[in-house]
């Protein structure tokens, strides 16, 4: 974990990153967001766990203890819900995907968690929360409404937190991702070769966006990174939880997955190492 108040930096995105909702037309953002419900069965087993240090840091910065009320935006299958539920928090979740919400209810059975099947933009609650948070979901919320909705759901002095798990490419990392780019290029899914690579600890932050909302003041921005290891089928399972790959046409998708299987089969261990980065933003509601 790297805890700091960074300047804005620039980074590219890997082919497996989600596009930023703020740069997509509303229709495209909504279309891609809806694809995740198709991957509900895979999501829980294939998506990585977030580092414990991220949750510890969030709770420390926001001074949250069991008894405080949390609202999660876009819980999916509960990847970021369970670690906080296990710490004793009572959590309300808002999840628009029917299949994802059903999976979350199964995964979180026995915890003090309520799950509402709704989009965050139109959801209303008479209750006010101490923290509103979103894990790899904030950029799918309408950028014209997300800060207004979060502010309306918070107690005075409450906190907003959000982060995303994205693919980062460290110096000396697995060369597989540079090598497989030729296949992405071949099938018309490549990225700008001139774009800077996303590096651990150097990801863009959204400090300016938070401040521009007028509703929140930034308290802390911290970067975290970690690594996962995948065999071919496990990695393809992961790719099938990303909107760009779910929405890909069958022929190019099978071409890509075939090359992943072939290239990993040529490795003695048959595995690849994928590095992840997350930028945790914590902001306080302005009085």
Give tens-digit pLDDT for 194-222. Answer: 889 999 999 999 999 999 999 999 999 99
Tens digits of residue pLDDT in 108-159? 999 999 999 999 999 999 999 999 999 999 999 999 999 999 999 999 999 9
Give domain status of residue 243, yes or no.
Answer: no
21-25, 86-90, 177-181, 240-244: the lowest-pLDDT one: 21-25
Residue 269 is assigned to a structural domain of this protein? no
CATH number for position 69: 3.40.50.150
Assigned domain for 52 exists: yes
**37 pLDDT band (50/70/90 cuts)?**
low
Question: SS3 of 199, please?
Answer: coil
SS3 161: strand
pLDDT of residue 200: 96
Are residues 210 and 281 in contact, defined by beta-carbon separation less than 8 angstroms? Answer: yes
CA dist 142 and 55 (Å) reads: 25
Q: What is the DSSP letter of 8?
A: P
Number of domains in the chain: 1
Q: What residues does 92 pair with on adjacent strands? A: 71, 114
Please report whether residue 194 resides in a domain: no
Q: Which of 85, 20, 10, 21 is nearest to 55 (CA)?
A: 85
Torsion of CA 58, 76, 48, 223, to 10 degrees: -30
For 46, the domain range is: 2-168+203-227+275-285
Residue 253 lies in a domain: no
Token pair, residue 261, equals 């299987």
Residue 120 falls inside a structural domain = yes
Let me know if residue 261 belongs to a domain: no
**Residue 196: inside a domain, yes or no?**
no
Per-residue pLDDT at 30: 54
- pTM attached to this predicted model: 0.86
pLDDT reported for residue 275: 98
Mean pLDDT of 177-186: 96
SS3 for 166? Answer: strand
């Amino acid at each position: 974990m790297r805890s700091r108040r960074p300047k804005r930096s620039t980074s590219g995105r890997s082919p497996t990153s989600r596009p930023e909702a703020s740069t997509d037309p509303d229709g495209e953002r909504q279309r891609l967001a809806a694809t995740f419900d198709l991957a509900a069965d895979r999501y829980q087993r294939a998506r990585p766990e977030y580092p414990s240090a991220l949750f510890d840091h969030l709770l420390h910065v926001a001074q949250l203890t069991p008894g405080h009320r949390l609202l999660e935006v876009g819980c999916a299958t509960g990847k970021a819900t369970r670690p906080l539920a296990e710490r004793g928090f009572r959590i309300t979740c808002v999840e628009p995907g029917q299949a994802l919400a059903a999976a979350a209810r199964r995964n979180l059975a026995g915890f003090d968690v309520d799950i509402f099947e709704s989009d965050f933009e139109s959801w209303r609650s008479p209750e006010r929360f101490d923290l509103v948070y979103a894990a790899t979901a904030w950029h799918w919320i309408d950028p014209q409404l997300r800060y207004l909705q979060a502010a309306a759901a918070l107690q005075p002095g409450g906190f907003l937190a959000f982060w995303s798990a994205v693919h980062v490419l460290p110096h000396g990392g697995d060369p597989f991702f540079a090598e497989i780019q030729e296949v992405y290029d071949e099938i018309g899914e490549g990225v700008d070769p001139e774009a800077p690579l996303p590096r651990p600890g150097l990801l863009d932050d959204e400090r300016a966006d938070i401040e521009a909302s007028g509703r929140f003041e930034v308290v802390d921005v911290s970067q975290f990174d970690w690594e996962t290891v995948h065999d071919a089928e496990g990695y393809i399972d992961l790719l099938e939880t990303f909107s760009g790959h779910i929405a890909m046409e069958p022929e190019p998708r099978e071409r890509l997955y075939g090359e992943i299987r072939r290239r990993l089969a040529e490795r003695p261990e048959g595995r690849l190492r994928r590095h992840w980065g997350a930028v945790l933003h914590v902001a306080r509601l302005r009085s």
